[in-house]
Structures are given as structure tokens and as C-alpha cells.
Amino acid sequence: MNTNTVTVKRNRKSLSKRINNLLVHLFLAVLAAIWILPILWIVLTSFRAEPGSYVSTFFPKGYTLANYVKLFTDRNVLDFPRMFGNTLIIAICTCIVSTFFVLSVSYCLSRMRFRFRKPYMNLAMILGLFPGFMAMIAEYYILKAMGLTDGSMIRLALIIVYSAGTGLGFQITKGYFDMIPRAVDEAAIVDGATQWQVFTRITIPLSKPIIIYTIMTSFIGPWVDFIFAKVIVRANSDQFTVAIGLWNMLQKEYINQWYTCFAAGAVVISVPIAILFVFMQKFYVEGMSGAVKG
């Protein structure tokens, strides 16, 4: 085989590779556009000066900050700042309690051996097949019997609902704990450490990525939930969450005057999640690099 033939084959292979890369990048660009377009639309709508929900153009004819101002200042009909505060309190408390529950249950099932351990995991797997809202009516009547469905106790009720069953979602965290060598725990126990000390001083520092994942999911769940919040809050407007508030903005009696504020609210509620992600990403990267070094 002469040199020219080899060169031609290499050129063809290089051209084919470039074409494949081009097609892949075009496909990814299309997917990115599909994902970004709704986000761009909701952001543009939040600055739109024209009232109402029906417009003939994608880009607003005028831009204004009045929608954001109205969202936080007009408290005669829909008190968004109170809704935001209610949701933030519920999400933070739920995040703390749920993270502790998930990590504790996962550690116990990963490191300890006790009676009914496997039956519990099998039962949790079966229960996980059913959607959580199937039990919301029963949960409502239980909370009502406990006096947690009126007034400020509604926030405590929502925290209990969002946190109580999180221990059943142990599978992912337990799988991560299983990858940590048991020899590390055994060495610490030989040195006189208790199970609590092993959990807090060894397992937790080695598990930053899964802890960050647990914190994110525990915060986002109550932050965006609508079904449970609507069932428990009912008509107590002073206990509305942002999901209920945004839903009310789309009702026929409010949509014309609150639609652009709905878009502004959708942008605002994404800010805490973005801040949490940016803040936690640093620890996630550090945890991954530490795991690789280990």
C-alpha cells in the first residue's frame, strides 16, 4: 500500500469524524434551544409591559419592572412575600429534617446488621412503587385529628408530611455508603469510636456528593410541591405557599391582571434553587475530588 492511499484513507476518516462531530453538535444545539426557549419566554414575559395572557408576538412590545414591583408590593389580593416566606421556612426545615432522616436510615441499613433489615428494605421498595399522593387524604385527617390543619400549625403539618416518609428513599444514599470500605469503620471502632462518631466523623466527610444530592432534593421537593400543600392549606390564604399562589394567579378572575406577575414569580422562585445549587456545587466538586484521591 503506497503513501497516497494511506493519506487518502486518513483524510476520509478525518472528514467522517468531523461530519459526525458536526451532526452531534447540531443535535445538542437543537436540544439546548428546546430547553432554553421556555425559560427565555418566561423571563421575557416577566418584563412584558402589555397586560393579559394573550399576545401575538414572542418578544414583548415594551419592557418594564412593574411586574416585579407589583408582585412584592400589591398585597390586597395575593400576598406573594408572605407565600414566599412560608415556603422558604417549610423548605429549609424540611431540608434539614429530611437530610438527617435519609442519611441516618441509609447508614443504618448499609453498616448495621439487625433483625428485619431485609424485610424492611423490601417493604420500602414496594411502598416506593406507589405515588405519595395516594395517602394524602388519610394524612390530612390524621393531621386534622392532631390539630395541625389550622392557623400557623399548617406549616408544621407540611414539614411533617414532607419529612416523615423521606427515610423510605434511602436506596441511592445507601448505595453510596456501601462503596465506602468497611475497613475504615472497623479501624475506627477498634480505636474506641462509637457508631455515632464513625457516622459523623468518617462516613459524612467521605460522602459530600451524596449529601449535596440529598440536600438539593430535600429542598426542591417542598419548594415546588402543589398537591399536598393545596390539600392541607385549603382556603387559609395566610398560609399559602408559592405554588398555590402562582396557581391562583392563573385563575380566570386574576389571570388578566396577574399573568405577567405570574411569570415574574416563576423567575423569583427559581432564585433560591439557583443560589443553593451554586453554593453546593463547590462542596460537590471538592467531595468528588476527595473521593478520587482516596
- Global pTM reads 0.81
Q: What is the pLDDT of residues 240-250, one digit of tens each?
A: 899 998 898 88
Distance CA(150)–CA(148), nearest Å, equals 6
Average pLDDT of 166-173? 83
Rounded CA-CA distance 244/261 in Å is 14
CA distance 113 to 62: 65
pLDDT of 284 strictly over 70: no
Q: What is the pLDDT of residues 27-82, one digit of tens each?
A: 999 999 998 998 898 999 889 888 877 777 778 888 888 889 988 888 777 888 89
Alpha-carbon distance 114 to 4, whole Å? 72
Distance CA 79, CA 183 (A): 55
Inform me whether the pLDDT recorded for 184 exceeds 80: yes
Contacts of 213 by beta carbon, 8 Å cutoff, 6+ apart: 172
Domain limits, the chain? 3-66, 73-293
How far from chain centre, in Å, is Cα 232?
21
What pLDDT was estimated at residue 62?
A: 84
d(CA 251, CA 244): 11
73-293 has which CATH code? 1.10.3720.10
Which residues are bridge partners to 63 per DSSP?
48
Q: What is the pLDDT of residue 291?
A: 44
pLDDT at residue 98 in the model: 92
pLDDT of residue 288: 47
Average pLDDT value over all residues in the chain:
84
Q: Which whole number is the average pLDDT over 237-260?
A: 87
Q: Is the confidence at residue 266, as pLDDT, over 60?
A: yes
- Following DSSP, what letter does each residue of 149-205 receive, concatenated? SSTTHHHHHHHHHHHHTGGG--HHHHHHHHTS-HHHHHHHHHTT--HHHHIIIIITG
Which runs of consecutive H residues, i.e. helices, occur in the chain?
3-46, 66-73, 80-111, 117-127, 136-145, 153-164, 171-178, 182-190, 195-198, 208-224, 227-233, 242-249, 255-293
